[in-house]
Amino acid sequence: MSITYKSTRGGEQNVPASLAILKGLAQDGGLFVPDTIPAFDKSLKEYAAMDYKQLAYEIMKLYFTDFTKEELENCINRAYDTKFDTEEIAPLVEADGAYYLELFHGATIAFKDMALSILPHLMTTSAKKNGTKNEIVILTATSGDTGKAALAGFADVEGTRIVVFYPKNGVSPVQERQMVTQKGENTCVIGIHGNFDDAQTGVKNIFADKELAAYLEEKGFQFSSANSINIGRLIPQVVYYVYAYATLLKEGKIAENDTINVVVPTGNFGNILAAFYAKNMGLPIGKLICASNENKVLYDFFQDGCYDKNREFILTSSPSMDILISSNLERLIYWLAGNDAASNQAYMEQLKSAGKYEITPEMKDKLKDFVGGFASETETATKIKDLYDKTGYVIDTHTGVAAAAFGKYLENTKDTTPTVIASTASPFKFARSVMNAIDTKYDAMSDFELIDELSKVGNVSIPNAIEEIRNAPVRHKTVCEKEDMVAEIKKFLQV
């Protein structure tokens, strides 16, 4: 069955997967969604017999129907190779009554690697398929992890350049160092004075600037995105939820067609949306538990159906979730509205003009599979310590938010369904917060001393991604006002 893509705002229809990947964002500012969510064409038992690469092909072929088998397998084989430090790609670890899906074994030790390892290959293949002559300029806003994963993926990829904007004081020291030491002649990293939402809004406005697009077209460039607004980034994330289920099935932890719950620490809503897609394909997921940190705009939305970004922006120890405008929620709103682009457009206009919108009771009824959860900074730190004291297993702050929110869910519901928690980053990426949670005595240490200590305490070796940046020179030093983002892009492209 051929799947095409359409904009959530109605401006584009019947767009093949390769063109949707190439564009990133629809011309009307909407996000591309599949015209239908495909059903599995194999049994869960068959999936359980596959390794990660085989499973990735089976899931992605259902969405990327204009790619040949050879094209798609080539992208997958180049993505999921030795840059991952475990054979399984996404190991599942049982600790204290939950299964932690470790999504941080790629080149930049965060879950973004799972999709951003393959996106450059999907993108360059798509460019060839569509006869693109322009150089593709990847434009991305990051709250910490996407930026580095995208930079690592696109560094020195022929026919591409990449510009990453991040909030200058809104990422962890390790996250910043990973970005500003990035090699590659085609890479550009810029800090902005502002928060992640300022960076993301700036990038969206640049995508919507038709005059700028025409000017760059003249100069031989075209923009695309590596954020989870790009469908080529979202679909590869569906794979690991199916893989988690298949692993539980293979290991005899569940029987075929048993239900599992999934807990996802959430900021931009892409990762949990991928789980929602997996559920709609036929994966037996019961509850989708959406875990927020103190920026709990999504928690409040699931409580009362009102999305309201008019609130204080809080910098937390889980910076990748410090987001008040969850871009991917638009895809869910479109679905809740019965795939009505006009209705979705109206909500997005309200968000832009008033900073909030409220869905109808009928739409809210369709959210019964979602559970909003949140954890404060104290609850997150307590969970990290408790889990370590009980099991010796060390988790990062984002996973800590998810684990703490899950603990509250269990208290409230007594639900005994086997549960997978998406473990989205290595604890080494947030060593200070993690070690302080375990014991405040570590606070006097430097960042890299903490990393060495964490290795001893957790009995895990330091990932290569950390060793690489320990003494790496800083290559990217630009910091700008949010109003100057376009000027900096032009400077980098020398136009």
Residues with a catalytic annotation lie at 112
Furthest C-alpha separation in the chain? 61
What gap in Å lies between CA 198 and CA 249, rounded to an integer? Answer: 43
Among the listed residues 488, 440, 433, 480, the one whose alpha carbon sits nearest the alpha carbon of residue 174: 433
Radius of gyration of the chain, Cα coordinates, nearest whole angstrom? 21
Q: Give the Cα-Cα-Cα angle 263, 268, 269 (nearest 5 degrees).
A: 45
CA 267/CA 318 separation, integer angstroms = 10
DSSP type of residue 250 = H
Phi, psi (rounded to 5 degrees) for 91: -65, 150
CA–CA separation, 369 and 353 (whole Å): 30
CA–CA distance, 99 with 90 (Å, rounded to integer): 12
Q: Tokens for 444, please give them.
A: 């006097």
CA atoms within 13 A of residue 268's CA, in its CB half-sphere: 24
Residues 6+ apart with CB under 8 A from 280: 37
Residues 6+ apart with CB under 8 A from 304: none
Q: What do you get for the CA distance between the two ends of the chain, in Å?
A: 43
| The two three-digit tokens of residue 29, written as one number | 């500012």
Nearest to 272 by CA among 311, 323, 313, 225: 323
Element (H, E) at 292: strand 285-292
Residues belonging to the chain: 495
Q: How far is CA 273 from the centre of its chain?
A: 10
Per-residue DSSP letter, 483: G
Q: Please report the beta strands in 375-440, taking only residues with DSSP state E, as ranges in sequence order.
A: 419-423
**E strands of 326-438, at which residues?**
356-358, 370-374, 419-423
Angstrom distance (rounded) from CA 49 to CA 47 = 5
Residue type, 273: L
